[in-house]
Amino acid sequence: MKILLTLSYVGTAYCGWQTQKNLVSVQSVVQDAVEGVFGKRYSVTGCSRTDSGVHARGFRCTVDIDAEAPHIPEEKLPIALNTKLPYDVSVLKAAYVDDSFHARYSVKSKRYEYVIHNSPLRDPFLSGRAWTVPIRLDEVVMDNAAKEFIGTHDFSAFRAVGSDVPDSVRTVFEASVRREGDMVIFSVSANGFLYNMVRIMVGTLVDLARGRLSSDVGGIIESRDRRNAGITAPPDGLTLTEVQYD
């Protein structure tokens, strides 16, 4: 038996989702909370490895419980777990699922949003939650460029150097840029993402809008060369917003 949890968290204080030696991860505080409620340490598997400083709404993870686990009705689990969690992590929903369900491998699509605060003056309320870019960005230029991400491509140019997943082909279902006042928001959904892929996409769109790149997105994808893409945007503006399963 597994429990599928839906989480929301502010990632600023964490080394990311994944547990790392001597660092505090979201996974470890969830595991601690589960232990606090069930009286036993169970393994927790996330849908994704978010980076340090990256946030999530609608993150999914499973808890591998066993026959010894006391039965707690699923509607009571969020509040029970939240009393054991720090203020920056919250369980929104819990459901018992079959053992065949896998938090990562069963994912059909994930959506990320990236918030750029496009203003010469920083906003204290957005600290840690947006990337402040002082130069005025043209969101129409960025939206048109973002459309070129859509489709099945080898995204080697959009992954961190040194990452070594053998298959760098991903299918992007949707990609768009919109403006809401001082906010420029990039939204992207795909069947999967390479390491730092969204942050490099954002850095590339911003660098294109700032006139710092000579090639267009299509050309950068085709080159399969990280050096042709833009900078890696800071983690602050990035939120995993949605995970869909089959």
- In the set 71, 73, 87, 105, which binds a second copy (CB under 8 A)? 87
33 near a second copy, rule: CB under 8 A = no
Judged by beta carbon, residue 116 or residue 229, the one nearer a second copy is: 116
Q: Annotated catalytic, 167?
A: no
Strands 131-132 and 107-117: parallel
Span 34-63, contacts to a second copy by CB under 8 A: 55, 57
92 near a second copy, rule: CB under 8 A = yes
Judged by beta carbon, residue 28 or residue 90, the one nearer a second copy is: 90
List phi, psi (to 5°) of 75: -70, -15
- Residue located via tokens 């369980």: 91
Q: Which residues pair with 189 in a beta bridge?
A: 111, 174
Q: Which residues neighbour 105 within 8 Å (Cβ) at sequence distance 6 or greater? A: none
Q: Which of 32, 51, 167, 216 is catalytic?
A: 51
Strands 55-64 and 131-132: unpaired
Stretch that binds a second copy, among 2-10, 39-47, 141-149, 213-221 (CB under 8 A): 2-10
DSSP 16: B
Active site residues: 51
Binding site for a second copy (CB under 8 A): 8-10, 55, 57, 78-79, 82, 87-92, 120-125, 127-129
